[in-house]
Amino acid sequence: MIVTPIIVLISIGTIANAIHPTLVKNHPLLLVALEPRNRWIILVADKVQFWPLLIFGTLRRLASDPLFFLLGHLYGDGAVRWAERKFDFGTGTIEKIEKVFQKAGPVLVFFFPGALVCVLAGATGMSPVLFFVLNIVGTIFTVTVLYHFASVVAGPVDAINGFYGDNFKWLTVVTVTLTALYIWNQWRQGKSEIQSLANLEEELGSPDADVGEEEEETAT
């Protein structure tokens, strides 16, 4: 119930990134609906109306956040350790984020509600109501700011859009090829997101496992 939707969303986003030159040229709103990264919102802001972009961008950004929150809520520290293996690669970044989260968790959820932050929110016992309010309001705020920021950098954005418009066919071939090579390389090394998620249940075990261990220790 948690992993499958995440895998679907990641797959959709990967496909959108792979064919983004064509989507930027012909279907800008669809690009935001499939993969609302900051750069894509800024790039297509002058091609679509504000309200459709806000609605589709917000809903798509919010789609996976509750799933990662639930992951942290159910599996606690095990989910955080999984996120560390998945996102950190020994850089120590997650440890630093955890320290910041202890002091400013709500701020991170509001401004930076990525997978890691959402897992931490669930694992640290943040109230679901508080999480959803911060997540929704913060996402709406971010998408709105990105939309209006696009007008500030209109010159470079127009230049990039012009380049995409003139060359989107061969650019799409290049991006699809590079994406395929990247996925193959990650899969070969066992580092792909889908592989990690597919083995998630195996890595974390039952959400009741920790409870059972605690009860056993108490009884002893």
Nearest Cα to 39, choosing from 161, 175, 168?
161
| pLDDT, mean over the chain | 87
Q: pLDDT band at residue 211, thresholds of 50, 70 and 90?
A: very low
More confident residue, 218 or 146: 146
Which pLDDT value is given to residue 209?
43
Q: Is there a contact between 24 and 178 (Cβ–Cβ < 8 Å)?
A: no
What pTM does this model have? 0.86
CA dist 28 and 52 (Å) reads: 11
**Percent above pLDDT 90 for the chain:** 66
Q: What is the pLDDT of residues 156-182, one digit of tens each?
A: 999 999 999 999 999 999 999 999 999
Question: What's the Rg (C-alpha) of the chain?
Answer: 20
Q: What is the pLDDT of residues 1-20, one digit of tens each?
A: 788 898 899 999 999 999 99
DSSP states of 39-75: HHHHHHGGGS-HHHHHHHHHHHHHHHHHHHHHHHHHH
Q: Which of 12-21, 58-67, 194-203 has the lowest mean pLDDT?
A: 194-203
Q: What is the pLDDT of residues 103-142, one digit of tens each?
A: 899 999 999 998 889 999 999 999 999 999 999 999 999 9
Q: pLDDT band at residue 197, thresholds of 50, 70 and 90?
A: confident
Averaged pLDDT for residues 28-37: 96
CA dist 70 and 74 (Å) reads: 6
- Beta carbons within 10 angstroms of residue 176's beta carbon: 17
Tokens representing 102 are 């202890």
